[in-house]
Every structure is written in C-alpha cells, then in structure tokens.
C-alpha cells in the first residue's frame, strides 16, 4: 500500500496515482484543471471548528491529531476513509493539501490511518 502526502501546488507527477484533495476549501489561486484532482472527499477533512482551533495555535499537533481521529470515526468519514484505503490497495494514492507543512497537517494523520 503506497500513500504519500504532497502539496497541491506542486506539479502533478506520473507516480502520484490517484490524487485526492483532503482540504475542505479549494486552494487559493489554483485552477481546478491545473490541480488534476481525481477525488475530493470533503467529509474526511477536519471540521471547520477543529481547523480554526489548530491554526489559532491553541493546541499541539498531537492533540489536533487525536481530535481529528475522533472526527474520522463518524459514519460518513469512516466510509470515505475506507474508500481511500481501497484505492491505496489498488495502487498509488497521493493525498493533496495546501498546507505549508504537510508533515504536521491533517494529511499526515490521514496517510497514517490509511496505511494502518
């Protein structure tokens, strides 16, 4: 199973496989055709409340990851997470985010959960 995390602003690469945007909002200044996004499952993105809490610097990354995992336990999110796992079993999957630090973002949490 191969899942990687990249910034959506980086140019697409052949080894990306299925490109899944995991941000709730469309990235600023990026044309939809240039992004080459294959799927955009908004229900597996962090809630607006959680995203704002984390970006305000009110908690640690570890606390954010725990709260985000709890959100992913909901029915719709869990179903979509399973879908992404199925995609990863079939081939390459790239989780795309606009985050400037993808390794400390929800996309890294998702990648870990997809691979588990």
pLDDT tens series, the chain, 116 aa: 689 999 999 999 999 999 999 999 999 999 988 899 999 999 999 999 999 999 898 889 999 999 999 999 999 999 999 999 999 999 999 999 999 999 999 999 999 999 98
d(CA 17, CA 87): 9
Which DSSP string corresponds to the chain? Answer: --EEEEETTSPP-GGG-EEEE--SSPPTT--HHHHT-SB--GGGSPPHHHHHHHHTT-S-HHHHHHHHHHHTTSHHHHHHHHHHHHHHHHS-EEEEE--S-GGGSHHHHHHHHHH-
Strand partners, 97: 7
pTM summary value = 0.93
The per-residue pLDDT for 41 is 95
């Amino acid at each position: 199973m191969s899942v990687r995390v990249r910034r959506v602003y980086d140019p697409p690469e052949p080894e990306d496989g299925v490109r899944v945007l995991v941000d709730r909002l469309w990235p600023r200044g990026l044309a939809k055709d240039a992004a080459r996004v294959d799927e955009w499952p908004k229900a597996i993105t962090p809630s607006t409340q959680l995203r704002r809490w984390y970006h305000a610097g009110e908690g640690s990354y570890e606390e954010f990851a725990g709260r985000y995992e709890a959100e992913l336990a909901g029915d719709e999110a869990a179903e979509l997470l399973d879908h992404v796992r199925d995609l990863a079993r079939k081939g390459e999957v790239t989780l795309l985010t606009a985050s400037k630090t993808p390794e400390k973002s929800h996309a890294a949490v998702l990648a870990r959960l997809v691979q588990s």
